[in-house]
């Protein structure tokens, strides 16, 4: 390492151990340092800050570093397993791809437990740990426990509204939902995956990624299916990154996938629908507030469509999607709206209540819940955004 033109030795194994599995392992200063065995102190500080590594650790003995890394990994794996939960896809997510987000959500969970005495043991976690005799019974058990009103979802004017209704029911049962907001998270997501579930006995988190999955599906409908899938995983006691191929017609999608299908598109109701043309599939998808692709796959799995017909519909939908005019990138949201979306409305409201009751210092709230993107003087605007 170079400080003011002078060389200061750093153990190479320490440098690699601290940064190789972090978000900076692909950055030019890190790669250049490995190639030349040199790095400017200012660059080291930048890498350390981005990786959330206290820079004094670079001067510690290798044995100390290995112990620190074991502690960090143990903490992360308490919340998220290293293996990706996949449905009909080979996409996997490495822990370093989401490490800073996992750490942030764990920090928020700890914050909630500390400052909200009203929290109780979560009744959704593990609800479906032991499978019932049928998928239908599992679906009903979770729907009833969440107080999920299927009619209210279907009567929603837009799929975005239906998504919010599901988030509200999860929040009412202490299942927090965080949605990705580019530029307002502690880490830039550079892999395509659906989201993840983060363990907690009181306030489990669901992290939902954005709508760009390279699978030709409109975002709101896909997010509804993804959100319910991750609610099922929380109920099954599965906490991991989640990735699934929404267009796959494979026959071995798994019980979790079928539970979601039964919640959103019950077999008894789907049986009575006519699906003779793609427009019929689209109309049914609008009714159930899912994507036409999800409806086609569900109908195929129930024997309402042949694999050949379902595949043909999926191909047509893909062609239609490709032919659409590309939407312009949306503007960056106001900081208060981004905080509401990423930290989640429920956590933000609970912690604001703790601030108002003087159980939580305002600056601590701004640091943990808002990631210092707004200050104490902006809390009035944040409260207005939450109404």
**Is 63 in the same domain as 87?**
no
Residue 329 has pLDDT above 60, yes or no: no
Residue percentage of the chain with pLDDT more than 90: 62
Work out the average pLDDT over 340-363: 96
Q: Which candidate, 359, 357, 356, 358, places its Cα nearest to that of 379?
A: 356
The answer on 296 and 243 residing in a single domain is yes
Residues in Cβ contact with 266 at an 8 Å cutoff, skipping those fewer than 6 apart: 136, 139, 150
CA distance 347 to 103: 16
The residue among 268, 294, 323 that closes a domain is: 323
Predicted confidence (pLDDT) per residue in 267-320, tens digit: 999 988 999 999 999 999 999 999 999 999 999 999 999 999 999 999 999 898
Pairwise CA distance, residues 245 & 248, whole Å: 6
Whether 184 and 257 map to the same domain: the answer is yes
> Same domain, yes or no, for 302 and 186?
yes
- What is the distance of C-alpha 7 from the center of its chain? 43
**Residue 219 belongs to some domain of the structure:** yes
pLDDT reading at 251 higher than 70? no
Q: Which pLDDT band holds residue 208 (cuts at 50, 70, 90)? A: very high
Say what the pTM is. 0.86
Which of 270, 301, 323 is at the close of a domain?
323
Does some domain include residue 61? Answer: yes
Alpha helix (H) residue ranges in 207-344: 219-236, 255-264, 267-270, 278-288, 292-301, 307-323, 335-342
Asked whether residue 347 is assigned to any structural domain, the reply reads: yes
The answer to whether residue 328 is domain-embedded is: no
> Looking at residue 327, what is its pLDDT?
62
Higher pLDDT, 22 or 163: 163
The Cα-based distances of 234 to 165, 206, 315 in angstroms read 18, 8, 32
Phi, psi dihedral angles at 207 (to 5 degrees): -105, 120
My answer on whether 175 and 228 are in the same domain is yes
Residues 57 and 100 in one domain: no
What distance in Å separates the CA atoms of residue 370 and residue 386, rounded to the nearest whole number? 14
Residues 11 and 94 in one domain: no
The verdict on residue 342 lying in a domain is yes
Domain tally, the chain: 3
**Is residue 97 domain-resident?**
yes
Token readout for 384 is 């207005």
CA–centroid distance for 156 within its chain = 24
Q: Alpha-carbon torsion 82, 84, 90, 92, what sign?
A: negative
Residue 326 has a pLDDT of 66
Distance CA 217, CA 15 (A): 42
Give the N- to C-terminal CA distance of the chain in Å, as an integer: 51
Looking at the structure, tell me whether residues 62 and 89 fall in a common domain: no
Same domain, 193 and 248: yes
- If asked whether residues 73 and 136 sit together in one domain, one would say no
What share of the chain has pLDDT > 70, as a percent?
Answer: 96
65-101 tens-digit pLDDT: 888 888 877 877 788 988 888 887 878 888 888 888 9
The verdict on 239 and 367 lying in the same domain is no
Longest dimension (CA), the chain: 78
pLDDT of 212 above 80: no
Of 17, 43, 78, which residue sits at a domain end? 78
Helix (H, G, I), strand (E, B) or coil at 54: coil
What does the block give as tokens for 204? 């489990």
Cα angle 117, 121, 125; round to 5: 140
Segments forming the whole domain that contains residue 380: 335-386
Q: What mean pLDDT, rounded, does the chain reach?
A: 90
In a domain, 329, yes or no: no
| β-strands 85-87, 241-244 pairing | parallel
Q: Is 69 found in the same domain as 90?
A: no
Convert the pLDDT of each residue in 20-51 to its tens digit. Answer: 877 788 789 999 999 999 899 899 999 998 88
Sign of torsion over alpha carbons 45, 51, 54, 55: negative
330 assigned to some structural domain? no
> What is the pLDDT, as a whole number, of residue 136?
97
């Amino acid at each position: 390492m170079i400080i003011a033109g002078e060389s200061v030795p750093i153990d190479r194994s320490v440098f690699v151990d601290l940064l190789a599995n972090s978000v900076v392992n692909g950055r030019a200063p890190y790669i250049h340092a490995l190639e030349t065995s040199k790095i400017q102190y200012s660059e080291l500080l930048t890498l350390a800050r981005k990786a959330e590594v206290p820079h004094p650790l670079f001067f510690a003995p290798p044995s100390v570093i290995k112990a620190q890394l074991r502690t960090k990994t143990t903490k992360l794996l308490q919340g998220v397993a290293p293996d990706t939960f996949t449905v009909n896809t080979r996409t996997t997510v490495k822990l370093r791809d989401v490490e800073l987000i996992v750490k942030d959500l764990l920090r928020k969970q700890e914050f909630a437990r500390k400052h909200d005495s009203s929290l109780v043991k979560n009744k959704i976690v593990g609800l479906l740990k032991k499978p019932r005799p049928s998928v239908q019974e599992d679906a009903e058990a979770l729907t009833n426990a969440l107080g999920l009103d299927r009619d209210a979802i279907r009567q929603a004017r837009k799929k975005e509204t239906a998504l919010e209704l599901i988030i509200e029911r999860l929040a009412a049962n202490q299942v927090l939902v965080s949605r990705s907001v580019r530029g307002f998270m502690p880490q830039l997501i550079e892999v395509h995956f659906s989201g993840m579930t983060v363990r907690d006995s009181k306030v489990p988190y669901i992290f939902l990624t954005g709508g760009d999955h390279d699978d030709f599906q409109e975002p709101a409908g896909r997010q509804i299916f993804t959100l319910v899938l991750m609610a099922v995983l929380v109920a099954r006691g599965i906490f991991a990154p989640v990735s699934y191929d929404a267009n796959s017609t494979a026959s071995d999608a798994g019980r979790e996938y079928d539970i979601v299908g039964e919640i959103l598109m019950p077999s008894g109701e789907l049986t009575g629908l006519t699906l003779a043309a793609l427009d019929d599939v689209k109309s049914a998808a609008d009714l159930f507030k899912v994507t036409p692709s999800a409806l086609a796959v569900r109908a195929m799995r129930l024997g309402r469509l042949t694999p050949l017909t379902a595949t043909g519909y999926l191909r047509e939908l893909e062609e239609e999607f490709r032919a659409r005019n590309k939407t312009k990138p949306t503007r960056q949201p106001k900081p208060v709206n981004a905080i509401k979306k990423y930290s989640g409305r429920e956590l933000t409201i609970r912690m604001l209540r703790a601030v108002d009751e003087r159980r939580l210092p305002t600056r601590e709230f701004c640091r943990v819940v808002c990631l210092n993107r707004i200050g104490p003087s902006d809390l009035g605007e944040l409260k207005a955004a939450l109404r």
